[in-house]
Structure 1
Amino acid sequence: MAGKGNTAKLHHYVPQAYLRGFANDKGRISVVPFDDSRKTFVSSVKNVAAQSH
């Protein structure tokens, strides 16, 4: 049985390999939120298109 330490924290609903194709040479990507109340920002591929637990 898997222990609690083996549970993934982030689950990507868009694969990171796909996102890397849009990233710059430092692995960062521009994020455009669907919500107009938030501004466009730059983030690491590891933190984009992912949901916690």
Structure 2
Amino acid sequence: SNGVARGAWQLDEKSSAVVVLDKDGRVQWAKDGALTQEEVQQVMDLLHKLINK
């Protein structure tokens, strides 16, 4: 990748990020860095909710 999204979101080059968008492209959840087990569960629950909407 050329880093356009990383620059736009001001993300660290050596980090990971998770961004969840809804069907309209709106950010529903975002985090830069490692996820805790609780955050993984939150993201999975949100994804299921958005998919079933």
Q: TM-score range by the shorter chain?
A: under 0.3
Which structure has the larger Rg?
Answer: 1
Which is bigger in relative contact order (C-alpha 8 A, separation at least 6)? 1
Q: TM-score, normalised on structure 1? A: 0.24
Q: Which structure dedicates a bigger proportion of its chain to helix? A: 2
Q: TM-score, normalised on structure 2? A: 0.24
